[in-house]
Amino acid sequence: MPTRMRCLGLAAVLTLAGVPCQAADVAAIVGATVVHPDRDLPSAVASNTTVIVSGSRIEAIGPASSTPVPAGATRIDGRGKWVVPGLIDSHVHFFQSGNLYTRPDVADFNAWMPYAKEVERNKARLPATFKVWLASGVTSVVDIGGPFWNFQMRDAAVRSPAAPRVAVAGPLISMVDRVKLDLGDPPIIKITSADAARALVRRELERKPDFIKVWFIHQKGDDLAAQEAIVKAAGDAAHVGGVRLAVHATELIVAKASLRAGADFLVHSVEDEPVDEEFLALAKKNRALYCPTLFVILGYRYALSNTWQPTEAEWRLADPQILAAMNDLRKIPKEKLPERVVKAMSQPVPPKPSAIALQNLRKVWDAGIPVVMGTDAGNIGTLHGPSVFREMEIMTQAGLTPLQVLRSATSNGAKTLGMERAIGTLAPGKLADLLILDADPLADVTNLSRIHRVIKDGKVFVPDELMRSVAAKGGAS
Ligand SMILES: [Zn+2]
């Protein structure tokens, strides 16, 4: 069944899914309030502005009174609307769906739903998953680690008529095994020597990754210096190949070891103790990006205690297949539930964001280290797409203003993709990745979910229509 996907704008034509929109045309958003997240107030806000999009790029942007609309351009009335750059999620995983069955190493539901079936589902569902990202206004994502088929996923995104731009890392170089995730193309590979780390990096470099990723798990009794040497070997090999090093490190000593080993991107908060001057100096020296990734742990706790509830944005913008599956704990017989789930369900504790992680976010921000917004979407309870609105709301609890949060999700996020010259800001010559909103994102970050239109590469999408095509039978057309 063909899905209806209107490529407004440009030629204001109705196209069938699978047929790329005409991009050689011109669209004009007239009279909108443009928010420039890379600037400070008051210059961040430009009211009564016209944005001209030509092909895949922004051609002009300026006061409506002095920015003429070219003849033949498709006019989009921007009055009472806001324009911001497309959102960027710097931390996602497409090999995971967000449902209960997606991390058997954490909660093993194989007795009810074989993991192999879940992985097949996730691969087949990619076209729909791409669409839910766009519908949530996310025009770029960074998949920071998964199986080797991640590289095919990136190719599929490029070919898809409706997908965010995708940067990708391959399998995680890990300190620990995750055998339950290994179906022949594991997302996590245990490495025990510097030589093995270099060999795996070489294999990944053949696929032209955007990052090499290390899962730096440091447990009691582990030799931190020996682990750091493995991370450094991976980082050095990545850097020789012109690729940056991303590291999962959630404790202060591990995060510092990662930075000493060359980390360019810390994909989680430091959660165990306050960051100190040494940490901040190391991060600055590396020009490292810091992704706080605050919601994901709450997502697990809600989902595995059967207290996960969709937000208003998730009702509208999450994949309905995943939403339906979030209630499955009610129908799985008790004897098929993992023990930890039975326990969590018997005493659900409402989770709260880590106070230390929130304080550290503020300190890192104030030190001038680039903070990038990322959800870790795909993990249990953290849904592809609208989980960005949960994440951004929690970031404000650290004391970041809506403008600062928006900066982390746009102009800073562009740095994660290494595309800060092309995306994340609104200026002539930039790629036309932008959102038209029905509500003021600086009054409340959740207003970023009130999306009138999403423009990616100059193609105009209507969130409702994207979601209708996802809900249609199969959702993958
Ligand atoms: Zn992750």
pLDDT of 476 over the 90 cut: no
Beta strands in 220-260 (DSSP E): 244-248
Phi, psi of 435 (to 5 degrees): -120, 145
Report the share of the chain in percent with pLDDT over 70: 94
**Cβ–Cβ < 8 Å for 152, 162:** no
Q: For position 474, what pLDDT does the model report? A: 54
Asked if 306 and 345 count as a contact pair (C-beta separation under 8 A), the reply is yes
For position 4, what pLDDT does the model report? 34
Indicate if the pLDDT at residue 247 is higher than 90: yes
Q: How far, in Å, from the CA of 470 to the mean position of ligand 1?
A: 25
pLDDT in tens, 302-344: 999 999 999 999 999 999 999 999 989 999 999 999 998 999 9
**Is pLDDT at 22 greater than 80 in this prediction?**
no
Q: What is the pLDDT of residues 66-125, one digit of tens each?
A: 999 999 999 999 999 999 999 999 999 999 999 999 999 999 999 999 999 999 999 999
How much distance in Å is there from the Cα of 355 to the middle of ligand 1? 20
Instruction: Please give the distance, rounded to the nearest whole angstrom, from the Cα atom of residue 143 to the centre of ligand 1.
Output: 8
pLDDT of residue 314: 98
pLDDT digits (tens, 9 = 90+) for 174-215: 999 999 999 999 999 999 999 999 999 999 999 999 999 999
Express each pLDDT in 417-475 by its tens digit.
999 999 999 999 999 999 999 999 999 999 999 999 999 999 999 999 999 999 986 54
Least confident of 9-13, 87-91, 411-415: 9-13
- Could you tell me the fold of the domain covering 87-297+350-416? TIM Barrel (3.20.20)
Query: CA-CA distance, 383 to 311, in Å (whole number)?
Result: 11
Say how many Å lie between the CA of residue 96 and the centre of ligand 1.
10
What pLDDT sits at residue 348? 86
Taking the centre of ligand 1 as the mean of its atom positions, its distance from the CA of residue 34, in whole angstroms, is 32
CA-CA distance, 59 to 54, in Å (whole number)? 6
Any idea what DSSP says for residue 289?
E
Q: Is the pTM of this model over 0.85?
A: yes
The hierarchical CATH code for the domain 4-86+425-471 is 2.30.40.10
Q: What is the mean pLDDT of the chain?
A: 93
Per-residue confidence (pLDDT) for residue 357, from 0 to 100: 98
* Residue 80 CB-density burial (10 A; 0-12 exposed, 13-18 middle, 19+ buried): exposed
Between the CA of 240 and the centroid of ligand 1 the distance, in Å, is 24
Bridge partner list, 245: 212
Distance 236 CA to ligand 1 centre (A): 22
> 142 pairs with which residues across the strands?
167
Token pair, residue 133, equals: 């990202």
3-state secondary structure of 448: helix
Going from the Cα of 451 to the center of ligand 1, the distance in angstroms, rounded, reads 26
CA torsion through residues 32, 35, 41, 43, sign: negative
For ligand 1, an ion, list residues with CB under 5 A: 376
Residue spans of the domains in the chain: they are 4-86+425-471, 87-297+350-416
Q: Which is it for strands 211-215 and 244-248: parallel, antiparallel or unpaired?
A: parallel
pLDDT tens, residue by residue, 271-287: 999 999 999 999 999 99
209 contacts: CB under 8 Å, gap ≥ 6: 151, 168, 169, 170, 243
Average pLDDT over residues 280-306: 97
Ligand 1 centre to CA of 124 (Å) is 21
| pLDDT value, residue 239 | 98
* Average pLDDT score over residue span 283-304: 97
> Quick one: pLDDT at residue 194?
97
Assess whether the previous peptide bond of 171 is cis (omega < 30° from 0): no
What distance in angstroms lies between residue 293's CA and the mean position of ligand 1's atoms?
8
Ligand 1 centroid from CA 169, angstroms = 11
Sorting pLDDT into bands at 50, 70 and 90, what band is 414? very high
